[in-house]
Amino acid sequence: MAVTVAAAAAMVGAIAPAAAADSLPGGLGPCLGDGCPTDWNDPNNGPVVNHDSNINIYVGGDYLVREAAAEAEGKIVTLGRFDMNKRAGVSQIYNVGVAGVGSRVPPPNGSDYLTVGGDLSIATGERLLAEEGLNHGVVRYAQNLTGTVIPDAVHETGATAPYTALRDQLTAASHCYAYDDNEDHRRPATGRVQMDGSETYFTGDGTSPLQVFALDADLATGSGGQEGIVFRDIPDGATVLVNVYGSTRNISTYMGSLPQSGLRERLMWNFPDATEVGLKGTGQFQGSVLIGQQSSMATLMMSGTNGRFYTAGSLTHMSEGESGGQEMHAYPFDGDLPDCGEEPSPTPTPTDSPTPTPTDTPTPTDTPTPTPTGSPGPSPSESTPGPRPTPTHSWPHRPHPGGELPNTGSRGGEWVIGGIAAALLVAGSAATLMARRTRRRG
C-alpha cells in the first residue's frame, strides 16, 4: 500500500535531514579542459571541434571486447587487462577515444585515449585504433602487449598508478548514494516508479533539486524483452539518481531521447549491490552508470550508451545475437549527488605530453600518485562470469523492514518507491542543495 506524503514525513522527519550536494569522487563526471563544448549534441558524425580530458569509462577490473562491439568514445582507464577478441565475420576493428558517431568530443590530440594496468591483448587479425583522420591519441599499457595497436602503444609500468584509488572511492560512493547510514537504511526516494508491462515511468515530485528513485526489479518486460523508460515531473536543472537494488540486475530497453534538454547530463543509474549487471536493447541508453561492487561483471550489449560509465568491477562490451556496432558515447555527468562526507581528490586526469615517449618509468604528472591498492582486479572468464561472486562490501545489509517492498517486481503495479519521500522536502532542503551547487561552481 502506498504511504502518503504526510505519513512519510512523520516517519523519518528526525532521521532524514536535508541532503547536501556533492560531485563524484576524484573529480570524475564533468567535462575538463578548455575545449569543452557549451552544449552537448545528440550522437552525430560531425567534425571534431571540442575535447574533454576527463575519464569517460573507468573499469576497476578487466575490460573485454567480444562479438561485434564497435567503439568506446572518450578517455578510458582499466586497472586490469584489456582483451579484444571479436567473432569472425564482423568488423575486426575496435575504436577507442574518438568514435565515428557519438558526442564527437574525444580527449585532446596526443593525450591518453586508453590506459591499461594489465596486459593489452588484441587477437590475431584484429586492430585497436586510437585515431581517426587528424585525431589521434595514446594507448598506454603497464604489462605485456600482444597484437596490433594503431598508433603504436606505449609501455609504462606505472601507467594506471594515478587511478588506483578511484576504485575504492567509487565503491564507497555507490553505497553512500543508495544507503544513507553506511549500513542498510535506503536513501529516501522522492519519486515513484510505475511499470505497466511495456514502459516504466519514473515520476518525480516536481520540486526537489535531487530526484531519487529506487528500483527493486529488472527493467524489462515480464518475459525479459525491451521496455520503454519515461521520466515525468522532473524540475528543470534537477539531478536524477536511480538506485537499482539487487545482486543481479538487467535492463533491456529501446530507450530514446529524454524530455528535457540537459537531463542526460544529470542522470545517474547506480548499482550498489549487483555482482551481475546486464544492459541490452536497441535503444540509446541515456545517463551515466555507476557500479560499485569490485567483484562485479557488467555485460554491455546496448546499441549505444550516452554518459559516463564507471564500474569498480569488470566490463564485457559485446553484441547480442546477429547485431553489431555497439558503441559507448562520451557525455559528462554534471549533477549534484548526495554528500558522502569526503572532499574530492585532485582530478584523476594527468597532464599528458603531446608527443609521449615510451618509457618503463612512470611519467611524472601534476596528479598526486596514490599508492596502488593491490591486484588490479578479477580475471573473468571469456563469456560467463561463473558462479555469482560474493559482494565485496562489508556493510551488514539486513532485509528490508517487514520483508520485501510492497509489490516488488510486480508488473502493472505501482511502487511509491521510498514512501518516505517527503522527508527530503523538509524546509530548506532545496535551498541547501542549490546554495552548495552555486558555491562549488561559482
What are the pLDDT digits (tens) for 66-115? 999 999 999 999 999 999 999 999 999 999 999 999 999 999 999 999 99
**pLDDT for 249 beyond 50:** yes
Residue pointed to by grid coordinates 542549490? 434
Tens-place pLDDT, residues 114-149: 999 999 999 999 999 999 999 999 999 999 999 999
Whole-model pTM: value is 0.76
Query: What pLDDT digit, counting tens, does each position of 176-198 carry?
Result: 999 998 789 999 999 999 998 88
Q: Which of 193, 100, 208, 233 is nearest to 425 (CA)?
A: 208
Q: How would you label 72-103 residue by residue, b for 16+ Cβ within 10 Å and e otherwise?
A: bbbbbbbbbbbbbebeeebebebbbbbbebbb
Q: What rounded mean pLDDT belongs to the chain?
A: 80
Comparing 153 with 398, the larger pLDDT belongs to: 153
Instruction: For 264-320, write each residue's pLDDT tens digit.
Output: 999 999 999 999 999 999 999 999 999 999 999 999 999 999 999 999 999 999 999
pLDDT at 8: 30
Q: How far is Cα 107 from Cα 52, in angstroms, rounded to an integer?
A: 5
> CA–CA separation, 188 vs 222, rounded Å?
27
| Positive or negative: CA dihedral 65, 365, 313, 28 | negative
Q: Regarding predicted confidence, which is higher, 216 or 387?
A: 216
Q: Provide the pLDDT confidence category of residue 259 given band limits of 50, 70 and 90.
A: confident
Distance, CA of 54 to CA of 103 (rounded, Å): 14
